[in-house]
């Protein structure tokens, strides 16, 4: 008997793979002191894109070579939610229990960037106060998951359009 594949099963599998790969990438950023480098952090999107392509390709293969746009969108979005949750939990644990100086390092980098833009001290302090509010552990955790889902949804819109292959319409 052939095992039936579902979009949820595929999304869960590749969400876990994406989450674990993100943990490795995040750890490399933390250990190398590049956690505050936003340009490198965006490279993490490559992990999401690769996992989506592989997940949708596997689903399409196991589904007789066909996948609708909606199925691909569902796989990509759910996969992003699972991967985002896993990496957000890891980041929370790392920042709270392993290296609790990371938050201050990032705020110092923000201060340096703001000062380099020519902002005066009052503007810098105001911007840092706002950054500090949004960098609390709970808010960071929630925003990480929300951001992963939102970015994953947007990426899914594109990847699903490329990877879809509808079943041909057959006349009876």
pLDDT digits (tens, 9 = 90+) for 94-142: 988 988 887 787 788 778 888 888 888 888 888 888 877 777 888 889 9
Helix pair angle (69-93, 44-62), 10° resolution = 140
CA atoms of 65 and 167, how far apart (whole Å): 9
Q: How many helices (H) and strands (E) does the chain have?
A: 7, 0
CA atoms of 7 and 10, how far apart (whole Å): 5
The mean per-residue pLDDT over the stretch 86-96 comes to 92
pLDDT at 50: 96
pLDDT at 83: 96
pLDDT at 36: 72
Share of the chain above pLDDT 90, in %: 55
pLDDT at 52: 96
CA atoms of 105 and 100, how far apart (whole Å): 10
Q: What is the pLDDT of residues 12-44, one digit of tens each?
A: 999 999 999 999 999 998 888 887 777 887 888
Cβ 159 vs Cβ 49: under 8 Å: yes
CB atoms within 10 A of CB 52: 28
Residue 37, classed as helix, strand or coil, is coil
Residue 124, classed as helix, strand or coil, is helix
pLDDT at 43: 85
pLDDT at 171: 52
Residue 51 vs residue 131, higher pLDDT: 51
pLDDT at 102: 79
The mean per-residue pLDDT over the stretch 55-84 comes to 95
pLDDT at 1: 42
Q: Kindly report whether the global pTM for this prediction surpasses the value 0.75.
A: yes
Q: What is the pLDDT of residues 134-167, one digit of tens each?
A: 778 888 899 999 999 999 999 999 999 999 998 8
């Amino acid at each position: 008997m052939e095992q039936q594949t579902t979009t949820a099963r595929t999304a869960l599998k590749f969400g876990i793979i994406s989450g674990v790969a993100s943990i490795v990438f995040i750890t490399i950023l933390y250990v190398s002191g590049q956690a505050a480098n936003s340009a490198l952090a965006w490279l993490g999107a490559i992990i999401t894109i690769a996992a989506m392509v592989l997940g949708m390709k596997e689903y399409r293969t196991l589904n007789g070579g066909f996948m609708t746009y909606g199925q691909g969108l569902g796989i990509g979005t759910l996969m992003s939610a699972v991967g985002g949750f896993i990496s957000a939990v890891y980041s929370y644990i790392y920042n709270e229990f392993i290296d609790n100086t990371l938050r201050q390092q990032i705020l110092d980098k923000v201060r340096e960037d703001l000062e380099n833009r020519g902002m005066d001290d009052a503007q810098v302090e105001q911007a840092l106060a706002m950054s500090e509010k949004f960098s609390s552990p709970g808010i960071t955790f929630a925003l990480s998951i929300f951001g992963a889902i939102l970015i994953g949804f947007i990426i899914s819109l594109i990847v699903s359009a490329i990877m879809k292959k509808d079943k041909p319409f057959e006349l009876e």
